[in-house]
Amino acid sequence: MMTNTSQDDLNLRSQDAICVNESELARPWYFNLKYALVGVAFGVVFIKAQIVSWFRIQEMFRFESFHMYGIIGSAIAVGALSVFIIKRFNIRTIEGEQVVFHKKEFNKGQIIGGLMFGLGWAITGACPGPLFAQIGYGSTVTIVTLLSAILGTWVYGYIREKLPH
């Protein structure tokens, strides 16, 4: 581990990531179990609405079904409304912290990487979330897909400085 200041560390963690938030509160590890519970609910919805199905993703890209568009569209609508309400009424977290939003900066990666992910999404029929749910569902071979995706992430990190951003 390098000797980073905590601000350096946060800057590094925030690279190419949307979901990094620095809480001022230091909590024991089991405080993370609440996120596991959200994950469980999320995973159940993934399976029950067949979002993790290769067939549903194919139907989406072939414009043969409204199902996935309805799901993504209504999820964004509910998410945006929630964010609006949180901002408008300055709603705080259950621990009383102010909710922080991070501005996303544009870089070329969103285009090149986005296209690459799109190609992979249509092949595997899964984005990263569904990979975990598919393995839970019992598709053990998806472990290979996940390991390969982790390898892809690693290779990106390894050659990151040489790529256009």
Partner 1 sequence: MMSQPWPWYIAGPLIGLTVPALLLLGNKSFGISSSMRHICAACLPANVPFFNYDWKKELWNLFFVGGIFLGGLLAAQLLAAPTEIVVHEDLRNDLAKAGLNSYSSIMPQELFSWQQLTTLRGWIFIVFGGFLVGFGTRYAGGCTSGHAIMGLSTLQWPSLIATCCFMIGGLVMTHFILPFLLSL
Terminal CA-CA length for the chain: 26
Sign of the alpha-carbon dihedral angle for 63, 78, 102, 21: negative
Under rule CB under 8 A, residue 48 binds partner 1: yes
78: Cβ–Cβ under 8 A, 6 or more apart, which residues? none
Under rule CB under 8 A, residue 127 binds partner 1: yes
Under rule CB under 8 A, residue 88 binds partner 1: no
Under rule CB under 8 A, residue 162 binds partner 1: no
Under rule CB under 8 A, which residues in 13-42 are in contact with partner 1?
Answer: 13, 15-23, 29, 31-42
Under rule CB under 8 A, residue 2 binds partner 1: yes
User: Pick from 7, 88, 104, 162: which binds partner 1 (CB under 8 A)?
Assistant: 104
Smallest distance from partner 1 to CB 107, Å: 8
Nearest one of 164, 140, 144 to 152, comparing CA atoms: 144
**What Rg do the C-alpha atoms of the chain give, in angstroms?**
18
Torsions phi, psi of 123, nearest 5?
Answer: -75, -55
User: Pick from 89, 90, 147, 162: which binds partner 1 (CB under 8 A)?
Assistant: 147
User: Pick from 5, 7, 58, 88: which binds partner 1 (CB under 8 A)?
Assistant: 58
Under rule CB under 8 A, residue 100 binds partner 1: yes
User: Pick from 88, 89, 90, 156: which binds partner 1 (CB under 8 A)?
Assistant: 156
Smallest distance from partner 1 to CB 10, Å: 8
DSSP 105: P
22: Cβ–Cβ under 8 A, 6 or more apart, which residues? 10, 100
Under rule CB under 8 A, residue 7 binds partner 1: no
DSSP 100: -
